Structure 1
């Protein structure tokens, strides 16, 4: 089976109306699915945006008719209480007529610090995520839920509008413990690296993500990727901890354009983009969502993807 190719609504680099227009364009171009980031801050100030992802999703559900929608990812432990996430996900599944998947993760300090709840150690964040997923799954049953756990309290909560088909839950995995959690509580696993060892015990759908920088001028595409996406080379252990764009600016100040170009396909060489996706296919990923870097470069990318990139990727 060919790898399904998705489109990313990158909330850090475009405003809400633009994001809805972009995903409608992705549906027209023939992308198999779409995902959206859920941030309260951009990674770098040069990205310049952070609209509320759930409002964008509601609008996207009305602006499209075919393309699946998915959070990539929402953190149900700090900014959002898990009972509220359950309500949002159920509503999105109804609005999209069964096209929504709920991607969950343990979050980043960059976004979750805004509620002033502190930022505990990674193992505590995973405990919180596990408890939150349990609350969401209980809410999805439609019963009245009361829960008093180590991290969350729920009092007499009930979802009054439930879809006929519940949204699948994906869980982001970046290490053995989170992958084990995804295996126990997730319907699919989400990962940003094609690490077959990390995922070898997980048999369900694997959804990956890959940043790309399309442009007919390769040097300009590399410069854009360096300006807006050099933070991504820091690795998850760093990226989860830094509290704001200034920290990412400092952490990535010595990253060179050449370093970025080694990790992110840049330009308009279809073969280079295919080779960047290939490790995901070989690692057993069933889906890969592409992130076109640059909020003002989506339309040319979508046109090129429809004409050249997607037909080549579907041969993987």
Structure 2
């Protein structure tokens, strides 16, 4: 039986709200936390984007749940040597309850310093090299590295956890899934895809942690919930590589009219039908996931946590 966690959205909520949601998640019976790592929200309607490492520091004091970034891009906006220091400190502050989720990122967050946005195969190369650097730094030993993408000179982390930080790799296609299977401590994806999990397991993932996530919009009025999702998160319905290559929230907003309420209704759990919420999370369990994280879209956070505490989680954990 998988564990069920809550997915904190730094795109939609500020630090104080995220901390309150984390407390409510723990009280409701969720067993772990994901938190997104963005420089920008996807659109102005979401309206937030706090620095994730500051929030994780506060989470370490606010709750006792495990915390994982979902996901950090340690390749362009931040050098992997700096991400390694942030991750190591987070692991120390949480008493070893921190995992570093990483991925190849999006231009939306990573091009802000004027760097070019590489094609996928280059981003995968950069990610693999970044992981190698971070793992060496997690040992607490001095690191010197001169690779095709990064240089590290005389770098040593003095504040490190007792055990190296686990590094889970996000994948949405066969190439990233193959990388995750080969070098990751775990695998992250947002689709309950049994074939992708099987590829990961057979490619070297074995019995390592497989985590998935989904978004819902709980509320007593299904139509209102659909409108809330369309207003705040139309970006998740855009096809292909647009999510990786569009550079600003404004560009995502320009494409939002392409997303209809029917698209939302067909692809997102909206409303207060317990069976629908349970079935969506069980689909990940059926596909072989070990942890499943759910995010509530919109302002009715307390209603969502009450609903899951009393009606959804008891069925999933029963």
Query: Do both share a fold (TM > 0.5)?
Result: yes
- Residues 216 and 295, structure 2, Cα contact 8 Å, conserved in 1: yes
Shift of 1:251: 2.2
Distance 2:24 2:126 in 1: 37
For 1:270 and 1:44, how far apart are their aligned partners in 2?
A: 30
Aligned to 1:301: 304
What is the DSSP-based 3-state SS (H/G/I as helix, E as strand, rest coil) of the residue aligned with 2:191? Answer: coil
Q: Structure 1 residue 14: deviation in Å?
A: 0.6
Distance in 2 (alpha carbons) for counterparts of 1:241 and 1:291: 24
Residue 313 of structure 2 corresponds to residue 310 of structure 1: yes
Aligned with 2:257 (options 253, 257, 260): 253
Give yes or no for contact 1:79–1:112 (8 Å, CA) kept in 2.
Answer: yes
Is the 1:270–1:312 Cα contact (8 Å) retained in structure 2? Answer: no
Indicate which of 249, 272, 281 corresponds to 1:268.
Answer: 272
Q: Take 2:80 and 2:191, find their aligned partners in 1: how far apart are those partners?
A: 27
Give the SS at the match of 2:140.
Answer: coil
1:223 maps to 2:227: yes
Who is 2:18 aligned against?
19
Match of 1:124 in 2: 122
* C-alpha contact (below 8 Å) 2:139/2:164 kept by paired residues: no
In the alignment, what sits opposite 1:198?
196
The structural deviation recorded for 1:97 is 0.8
Instruction: Give the drift of 1:197.
Output: 1.8
Q: In the alignment, which residue of structure 2 is the partner of 1:44?
A: 43
Mark the runs of 5 or more structure 2 residues left unpaired by the alignment: none
**CA 299–100 in structure 1, closer or farther in 2 if over 3 Å, else same:** same
Matched, 1:178 2:181: no
User: What is the match of residue 281 of structure 2?
Assistant: 277
Deviation at 1:179, TM superposition (A): 0.9
CA-to-aligned-CA distance 1:7-29 (integer Å, 9 cap, x gap)? 01100111111111111111111
Give per-residue Cα distances to partners, 1:260-292, cap 9 Å, x unaligned.
111110001110111212321121111111010
Alignment check: 8 A CA contact 1:174 1:236 kept? no
Structure 1: unaligned runs, 5 residues or longer: none
Q: Is the aligned partner of 1:241 residue 2:214?
A: no
Counterparts of 1:14-93 in structure 2, within 5 Å, are 14-65=13-64, 67-93=65-91
Secondary structure of the 2:108 match is: helix
Deviations 1:226-253 (A, max 9, x none): 1111210114522111111121122231
Distance 1:75 1:301 in 2: 30
Partner of 2:148: 150
Q: Contact (CA 8 Å) 2:98, 2:165: kept in 1 or not?
A: yes
Give the TM-score of the pair, scaled to structure 1.
0.96
TM-score (norm 2): 0.95
Residue 150 of structure 1, CA deviation: 0.5
Aligned partners of 2:11 and 2:38 also within 8 Å: yes
- Give the total of aligned pairs: 312
